């Protein structure tokens, strides 16, 4: 337990460091000392003159601060959702993108954008799509053979993702004037600001609390259904709640950021290599690590081609695609 708290403490410090870098660096060229002074000035009983002009204050508190917070929240949700899916399916390749959750949410959100327009039903629509995508992938993988091995489940997820993406493309053609908006959403963006952050906060809180509460039960589930049942664990009930919570986390993230791939597979694997396989530590560290990872990815996205901005999904793909190949090679013996 002491080791767990040390690991969480280190992860929190890393996250704070990444978030500080995200606040200090940007195209606006604000002086780091002035930014720190302005941030400290917002603390209770602290009064500092940052020297920032009103416009610069607006850039910091209306653009940078909510963007960094939203990147951290989205990254944390995608990473802990990936860890949750991997625990439910006992599959190291399971993640929100590969299992069809992101594609399902993407389809339903696109329908909302094209047919209804931007509204408060986006998170609900994304949640329904995410659950539907995961259900289709799992059902297809299970029908191919008992248990649905690693390769079978991945192939099922790819098939479902391709199918849902094809429908999404068709829907986009129904309203050509919305194509730019939909494509921008598909490539990923965490610049939605305070409204988007506040919109998904309740969903994020519920999903994270449910998954963290099931960490010990996922450890028991990892030994196998028969053994878990003999220990008094209701395996189907655990899977149901974790699956719903992971889908809610994915849906919340996708609803405000678009389709950002590979976070849910990269971060949990790194966490396991560094801190072990117990989900009591994998889940909270994935949450913190995913937040730090996406904050850094967003920092790269908005500075590497400044003043132009690279879609954040492109940055995560550059890191995640080679990593996925490595993970696939490492798990090759499991399917042999």
Confirm if 156 and 137 have CB atoms less than 8 A apart: yes
Round to the nearest angstrom and report the end-to-end CA distance of the chain.
36
Q: Is 74:253 a contact under the CB 8 Å cutoff?
A: yes
Residue 204 lies in a domain: yes
Q: What is the CATH number of the domain that holds 230?
A: 1.10.3470.10
Specify if 165 maps to a domain. yes
Domain region containing 91: 70-331
d(CA 7, CA 272): 12
Q: Judge whether 25 lies within some domain.
A: no
Q: For each of the chain's 336 residues, which pLDDT tens digit applies?
A: 677 788 899 999 999 999 999 999 987 878 999 999 999 988 888 888 888 888 999 999 999 999 999 999 999 999 999 999 999 888 877 888 778 888 898 899 888 888 877 666 777 788 888 888 888 988 887 776 554 555 677 788 889 989 998 998 888 887 777 777 777 777 788 888 898 899 899 999 999 999 999 999 999 988 877 777 787 788 888 888 998 899 889 988 988 888 898 899 899 999 998 888 899 999 999 999 999 999 999 999 998 887 788 889 889 989 888 887 777 776 655 444
CB 22 within 8 A of CB 295: yes
**Residue 44: which residues within 8 A CB-CB, separation 6 or more?**
none
Domain annotation covers residue 28: no
What domain count does the chain have? 1
On whether the pTM is more than 0.75, the answer is yes
CA dist., res. 262 & res. 323, Å (int): 9
CA distance 289 to 254: 18
Domain assignment present for residue 33? The answer is: no
């Amino acid at each position: 337990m002491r080791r767990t708290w040390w690991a969480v403490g280190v992860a929190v410090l890393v996250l704070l460091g990444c978030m500080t870098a995200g606040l200090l660096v940007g195209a606006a060229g604000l002086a780091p000392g002035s930014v720190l002074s302005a941030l400290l000035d917002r603390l209770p009983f602290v009064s500092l003159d940052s020297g920032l002009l009103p416009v610069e204050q607006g850039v910091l508190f209306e653009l940078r601060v909510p963007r960094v917070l939203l990147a951290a929240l989205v990254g944390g949700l995608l990473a802990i959702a990936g860890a949750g899916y991997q625990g439910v399916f006992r599959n190291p390749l399971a993640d929100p993108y590969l299992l069809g959750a992101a594609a399902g949410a993407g389809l339903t959100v696109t329908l909302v954008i094209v047919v209804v327009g931007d509204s408060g039903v986006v998170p609900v629509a994304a949640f329904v799509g995410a659950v539907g995508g995961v259900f289709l992938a799992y059902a297809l993988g299970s029908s191919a053979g008992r248990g649905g091995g690693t390769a079978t489940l991945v192939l099922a997820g790819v098939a479902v993702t391709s199918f849902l993406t094809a429908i999404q493309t068709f829907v986009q053609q129904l309203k050509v004037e919305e194509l730019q908006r939909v494509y921008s959403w598909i490539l990923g963006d965490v610049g939605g600001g305070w409204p988007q952050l506040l919109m998904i906060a309740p969903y994020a809180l519920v999903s994270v609390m449910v998954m963290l509460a099931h960490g010990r039960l996922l450890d028991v589930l990892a030994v196998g259904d028969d053994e878990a049942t003999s220990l008094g664990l209701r395996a189907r009930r655990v899977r149901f709640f974790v699956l719903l919570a992971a889908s809610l986390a994915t849906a919340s993230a996708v609803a405000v950021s678009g389709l950002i791939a590979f976070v849910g597979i990269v971060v949990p694997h790194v966490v396991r290599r560094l801190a072990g396989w117990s989900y009591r530590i994998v889940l909270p560290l994935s949450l913190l690590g995913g937040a730090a990872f996406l904050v850094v990815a967003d920092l790269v996205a908005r500075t590497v081609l400044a003043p132009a901005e690279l879609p954040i999904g492109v940055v995560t793909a550059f890191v995640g695609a080679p990593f996925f190949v490595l993970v696939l090679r490492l798990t090759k013996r499991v399917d042999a």
